[in-house]
Structure 1
Amino acid sequence: MTTADRAEGNTRGWLSSALCALATCGALVALGRLIQPGRWPAVACVAVILLAAVIAAVRSLTGSPWVPTVVGAVVAFAGLVVRYGAPPGGTQVLPTPDAVRRTWALAGEGVALIQGSLVPMPSNRSAEVLVVAGAAAVLLLVDALALGAGAPALVALPLSALWVPAVVLGYPASGWAVFWTGLAYLMLLALTTAPGGPQADLVRRSSTAFAAAAGAVVLALLAAPAVAAFPGWSSVRLPTLGDGPSGPLVLSSNLDLRDSLGSRSSQVVLRYTVSRPAPQDGSGPSPAATSALPLSIGPLRAFTLSSFDGRQWSRAGDGPVFPFDGGSWLGTDSATPDPARELDVQVRLESLRETRLPISTFPRTVAVDGTWRYDPQRDEVVGTQATAAGQTYSMQVEVQDLSADQLIAAGAGAPSGSENYLQVPATQHLADITARANQIVGNATTAYDKAMALQQYFRSGANFTYDTKVPPATSQDAVWDFLQSRRGYCVQFSSTMTLMARILGIPARVAVGFLPGTQTGNDGEYVVTGKQAHAWPELYFAGYGWVRFEPTPAVQTGAPPAWSDPYVRSTGPGAQGPNDLGRAGQAATGGATGAPTQAPHQTVTTTVHGSWVPTAVTMGLVLLAAAAALLVWRRLRRPPELNAERAWHTLRRRLAKRHITWADSTTPRGCVRTVQDTLLELTGRELQGAAFEGLTELARTVEDERYAPAQSPRTSSQLHHWIGETLRGVDELVSDRPGRAAAPSGPPAGP
């Protein structure tokens, strides 16, 4: 390789490594909405930049395609172990086995945190180690594909790994992630596939690649909003809530236990604000009377389902509906609601298209424009037309003061109406399900204690796992399959508890609606998205009506209502504990379980930021060891000793790669003429100066060695110099020609 080749290769290698690092850091931005703000972006980007520098340095010293990847992997592993494997309160300088075990345990905590947390997940040390390790792995793959394997187009595959979580969970990444990742990717494509040439041309080619890549990215970012706003993109009516990234959202009136949780939408379904009513001339509640009342109204229910065939829930038919006015209290038999427990709610619908209004499960008044009626049997507000974006309505909600002791004393009631809320389908495994229900409740005698036993059984992580993918059916009974697989989402949990409650003689139904949503600030505003669609069981208690329970695991729904929370066995202010505020959600086909910002009763790992000094010392030692190894490598790979024939063979082989060949019968002087004629045909010019001198000196040396009785001694360094000068001159002529010549037909002569 000539000096020019080596200089251009080193420059191109450093630039390519820098682009690999930029692309990886840009892709890391896609995780910004999945993890709470913290140190992790800066730490991960610094790790990526340092690792890229190590890889580029190794490549410039060795010229090997794969040695830099191996060295980079070793350096990344050592850095992770030293940084995150230090004992509590201590430092770590060398990657010992104990440090490896501690790092692995910390990574395991991060995996558990991902499984048990909701978006955005906490930003602590266990999350940071996963992000840094993932970024390092992506950089190694990107560099290996772009520079090691020479396949820069495939770089998009490892880069997409950092985008997959945001895409799957439906949290769109920042536009900066698109910009920087796309810009670096396009520039990397242009740089690694650009033709070689003199060093002076590298700046021109790099500038052209940068301008073209930046223009393509900017054009895409400018065109995207215009394309997205084109009429018709969001006009498709979706069959179930939560599917797809855009379009009107509709709750499904049929819940199939065999369906897996589909793609989830992050669209805003509705917004609402909760406030305490102002005193009215002394007639209303005083501020002190309502100040202790939490600004939470619990989930918003749209409708209920009561007919179950062993696999699917459906509506048994519409009941009688009656007109109502905005001042009528709905969902209560009390003529005088407690003013001290009232909250004012203002709702604005966004993408929801429903003929039933999402309303509080507590007693409420509803003031809404249009033709709406009330179904007292199902406690639903029913309209003649679907809701539209921008529609508003208001509610006065009476937060019930309900406790476990009250429900224990009440017992199961008998709801009025034609629907049979104790109906149990005669399925294949009904006897098995009945035996399991009796086993779960054990010696419980009251309806409440039985309901609590069922709820706790399903919420236990030791018994069931929340999973959006429903395992394949093994029988004709969907509930029995869920009890066997022990995996499912809110539809399976709510359905199974409802069925078992009916088996135990407690009237039960499935409610479909939305979790409370995410509180945006201190002004009492909540935002509900398609991800927060949810299904839960409601059991009927005498004197209190339909009461919500929550069997779906806490990592998805937050704390259960106060009356069904085993940690709260006393009268509390309202149905929701403090952990119910601001829960984020996940979508489901026909109603999905929501996802809180942080799981209740979850052990939070304290974030400890250790010193960077041990890490820096260890990395320095690793780099020194790597440098020593590289020096040995380079010494072992020093240019071989050449004689005239070996030098001539080397020159012939390298010229053949440049499409300059000659026959075995050609004399050395004839070869000089052949090289000049071929270059004259390809470029219109011949070798001159040091390049021509190097070629002729090599030819003369070969002739002397072959034919002269007395030979002039030539050193190996002289022969290497003549080869380099000849190849440099050939490369300059070839790179300056107007077009690249086609390769001559047939294989090149010689080895």
Structure 2
Amino acid sequence: MVDLRPPADVRPPSTREVPLSREPGDRFAPGNARWPLTALLWLTLMMAVGSLHPLFQGSGWWFAAAVVSALVLGAAGAARAAHWPSVVASAAGLIVGVLGSTAFVSGGTALLGIIPTAETIDRIRVLTEQARDAIVSDEAPIVVGDAMLGVIVVTVAAGALLVDLLSRVSRMPGLTGVVFAIVLVVPSFIPDVDPSWVWVVLTVLGYVAVLVVSTGRRPSRTSIVTAVAAVVVAGVVTSLLPVSLASPLSNLGTGTGISTGVNPVINLGKDLRRGTAVDVLSYTSSSAQGDYLKLVDLVDFSGTRWSPASVRLDGKNTVEKLPQAPGIAKSTRRDTVTTDVSVNLLRSPYLPIPVPATAITGVDSKWKYVDASGVTVRSTSEGSQGLDYKVTSRPVDPTRSQIVRSLDKAPAGLSAYESVAGVPASITRLAKKVTSGAANPFDAAVQLQDYFRNGEFTYSEDTPVREGYDGSGLDMVETFLKRKSGYCVHFASAMAVMARTLGIPSRIAVGFLPGTQEGSSENWTVTSNDLHTWPELYFQGLGWIPFEPTVGQGTTSSYLQQTGTEATPSSSATSSASASDSATAQATTSTTAAPTTAQVTTSASAATGTSGRSVGGAPFAVVGAAILVLVALLPWWLRTSRRRRRLGQDPPDTALWAWREVVDTARDLGVSVDPAATPQATAALVRERLDAPGASALERLLAGTQRERFGDLPAGAIVQDDARTVIRSLRQGAGPVARCVAALVPRSLFVEARPQTAQGA
């Protein structure tokens, strides 16, 4: 009889050679730079950073971040290609990142442009303070000056270093998705900013590519479906998350509030046109007419917009002892008003207060008065929402004779409040025409106010937007004076500019109208519709006088009447005011008129305040929370899908895939399985975690796998049942924490197995 069976050491040609475990070698070993993975990590990171473009003006910041992050990842990859240890290679990336970041933020203080010096460290400290102010107070899109560019570059460099550590040192490239997700979600925390869906999609696709390249496997049908689902989820998240987070982050409940930044005047129109008014604060006042509540003074006028004076907060300027209001003579009659303020839905770095304030109680030491020019109060680390405080103020109420006596007193060096370079001739001519009959500067100011309130002007929040002159720049003012229709920003800016052309120091105050009085009580309610601007003009002896040119809004002070008296200025007139008042005015002028370079940078980067958006109520919060839960469960779904696919394989690889699933499950539960170990050694290690039924099933699975691979005997569905028994036994033997981690963060899905020193079976 002839034996037709093949020799024992000969495999049938139809049998496929598939190993029991993956043995690709150490992809993370020194000398393996893995440039495709490095390039994908950089590209995906930069696509995630691109999603931040609604937060910053221009695109130069993105290119700077791209260069520095490329230096970090490139240096680390080159070091690994040179057979440096992986941790040392990451350290090389860190050093190069520091040098590259220094080149962007040193401002010429670094040695050779990249090596930090003591002067560089001091500059970084100043830039850090400025960036903190901008982040706390400014509205997106922020002007990217040196301070903000430094924050962006350093943060992105740190992100590049982190993805390098996760993917190469920790050998968990899958977890780089956390870094990308953190970057993508940042715009969702910024009110009135719409995240960019396109950048989110590109980042998700880049992350899927990272997973494919890092694992070395071709994408399966499940991974493709998952990628598409991830893109859809990302789109939904970027659409709904800003709305869902607005309420809990801002403590707004189901209402809407308003937010102001360093310079809230530019965005004031949007707040006024927001629709339904919301209560932003309430107060009680001893004044029968209520109080104008000021937030900030706008002093610097560039010709295109008004902005606050460039003054850095002094840590010593606490509200415990406020300075005297400048320019007010001791003989000038003044009222004393007590106001208790309770802030509800107003988030502002400035404190709304009646002026000039002489005492403030109820706020902590983080609130400082800005300077002596008008005693506005600001914080760089807190907002006004939820505060309750008491203010004592002393507004002037001069008699006619006191006003007349002040007319011969020339302003004490307030050139910073008189600058109006580039004013169109039409505005100058109109100012002179309107005030041609004025006997003195005070009367001229009153005539300007009457020109707006008693003339042909109308109040409209929509006309400037519809006809394209909404703003406070000179071109907008010129158009407003022709159209004669606008809202408070236009009236205040026009009067302030016209006053400056007449030599009268002026500024714009931003704050709130007195609001609505509750019956005849002392209680007042201020809503978002009461947000307002008005001009303040300076007269030595009277100080800063508020005017109200906006037609149909607010009230005018009773003492703002024509005097008809000719002014007779004399060289000694200024000294008749109190010495302290004059000194205060001079100090204010020197502080405001000569800002440092760093302060100018702060002013340049000061943007408008943000406008709150409707949060849409609780349903959106629920939807947002549900989406976050779904995203957190995505690894569990991927791992479950893989298990289902493996345990449903048909011959000839039924046992092989069942065995691989058991090994990966053991890894997920914390068993240190060596991919280079023999099947017998792996079985012995896993067996220690099993009960008796599980151990028996493991033996049958191992035997079935060996017969399938080496005996050309296809395994039946019984091996899949044995695999499920082993998996169930492994899970029962693990603790609840280990099972939770294995479900939510499965190690086999994110971490490449490390081949160890081979041990005998």
Name the TM-score class by shorter chain.
Answer: 0.3 to 0.5
Higher relative contact order, structure no. (Cα contacts within 8 Å, ≥ 6 residues apart): 2
